[in-house]
Amino acid sequence: MKAEHIYKGLSEPDRIRILNLLSEGPLCGCFMQEIMDMGQVKISKQLAYLRKLGLVTSAREANWVVYRLAGPIDPILVENLKIIRGQEAGDSELRLDLSKRQEMMTRVACNEKAAPEPVRKGCCCEK
Amino acid sequence: MKAEHIYKGLSEPDRIRILNLLSEGPLCGCFMQEIMDMGQVKISKQLAYLRKLGLVTSAREANWVVYRLAGPIDPILVENLKIIRGQEAGDSELRLDLSKRQEMMTRVACNEKAAPEPVRKGCCCEK
DNA sequence: TTAAAATATTCCCTTGACGGAATATACCAC
DNA sequence: GTGGTATATTCCGTCAAGGGAATATTTTAA
C-alpha cells in the first residue's frame, strides 16, 4: 500500500467520516446514510473511490452491501484513524458519528458480522 | 488546521519528500532541487501548493527563498512525518533524502538558520 | 409477476491538480 | 547599467474529482 493512497483517502471530510466509522467494524451503506445524514449517491461515490484506492472492500449480504476496511490494514491508516478522533487534535463530529453508530448497532438486531438482521425490518430504514 | 488539508499535502509523493526534508529544518529551494534531483518549476509549484494549504511558509533571504514548516506544526503532521520515514512502514527514499540533506548541510557552510552561507558561492550550485 | 428497497452507474457540468514550456520577477555581482 | 542565479507565474493541455439529477441493477417481499 502506497502512503499517498492512504492520504488521498483521508483528504476529504466525508471520506474521513466513512473510514472513521469503518474503523469500528463493518457497516452497510444504509447505516452510513443514516449516521452521516447524507444522500445515497454521494456516499456510494466516495465508497467507490475508497475501493479504487484499495482501502475498503465490499460484500453483498442479502439486500445490502457491507463495507469493511481492506485487510491487512496499513499501520499508517491505523495510526491516523486513532489520531483524527483523539481528544486533543481530533474532530468531535467523528466521535459523534461513532456514538450514533453504537446506538444503531444496539437498537437494531445484528448478527456478529454486523449485517442488519432480521433481513428486512431490522435495517436502518425501520424507524 | 483542518485534517484534510494535511492529508492533501501528503497525498503526492513529491510533496511527501518536501515535507520530509523540511521536518529536519528550513531549506532553500535550490537545495531541494539538488537533493530531489527535480526541475525548478515542478518543485516551485508543489511549494506553492503547500503554502496555499498553510503547511509551509517561505521567506526570502538574499538571493534565495528559505522554506519552513508553518508553525505551530499540527500533531497530525508531526506524527505522519515520523511514520512515513519509520523503519517498518517507511520509505527508504525519504531516509536517503535526509542523508543527502545532511551531507549538503555539512559540505557547504551554513549559518544557524540554514540559509546558505557565504551568500553566493556556498549554495548548492557551487559544485 | 410486480413493487419497493439498497446500491451502483451514467451524464453533464464545474473546478482543481499536474506536466511542460516559456516567461517574468527579485536579487546579487560587476 | 548588464548579466547571471534563484524563484514564481502564466499559458496550454489533460485528466481526475465532486456535485446534482436521472437511471440501472440486484435483491427481497408480496
CA-to-C1' distance for A65 and D26, Å? 11
Query: SS3 for B61?
Result: strand
Residues 79-98 on A with a CB inside 8 Å of B are: 79-80, 83-84, 88-89, 91
**pLDDT for residue B109:** 46
The three cell numbers of residue B97 are: 533524502
| Bond prior to A72 in cis (omega within 30° of 0) | yes
- Is 80 exceeded by the pLDDT of residue A120? no
Band (pLDDT 50/70/90 cuts) for residue A30 is confident
Write out chain A residues lying below 8 Å of B10, CB-based: 3-4, 7
pTM for this one? 0.86
- Which residues does nucleic strand C approach, with CB less than 7 A? A 28-30, 33, 40-41, 44-45, 47-48, 58, 63-65, 123-125; B 8, 11-12, 14, 39, 41-42, 45-46, 49, 60, 62-63, 119-120
- Is 50 exceeded by the pLDDT of residue A116? no
* CA–CA dist A81, A7 (Å, integer): 11
* CA–CA dist A35, A125 (Å, integer): 12
pLDDT in tens, A41-92: 999 999 999 999 999 999 888 788 999 999 899 999 999 999 998 866 567 8
**pLDDT for residue A126:** 41
Give Dmax (Cα) for chain A.
Answer: 42
**pLDDT for residue B108:** 65
Judged by C1' against the alpha carbon of A42, the nearest nucleotide is D19
How buried is B111 (Cβ within 10 angstroms: 0-12 exposed, 13-18 middle, 19+ buried)? exposed
CA-to-C1' distance for A39 and D21, Å? 12
* Whole-Å CA distances, B125 to A31, A102, B104: 58, 59, 11
Average pLDDT, chain A: 83
Query: Is B122 near strand D, with its CB below 7 A from some atom of it?
Result: no
pLDDT in 10s for each residue of chain B, 127 residues:
889 999 999 999 999 999 999 999 999 998 999 999 999 999 999 999 999 999 999 998 888 899 999 989 999 999 999 999 886 656 788 999 999 998 888 776 444 334 443 333 445 444 3
The three cell numbers of residue A50 are: 475508497
The three cell numbers of residue A11 are: 483528504
Listed as ranges, the nucleotides of chain C within 7 A of a protein C-beta are 5-10, 17-23, 26-29
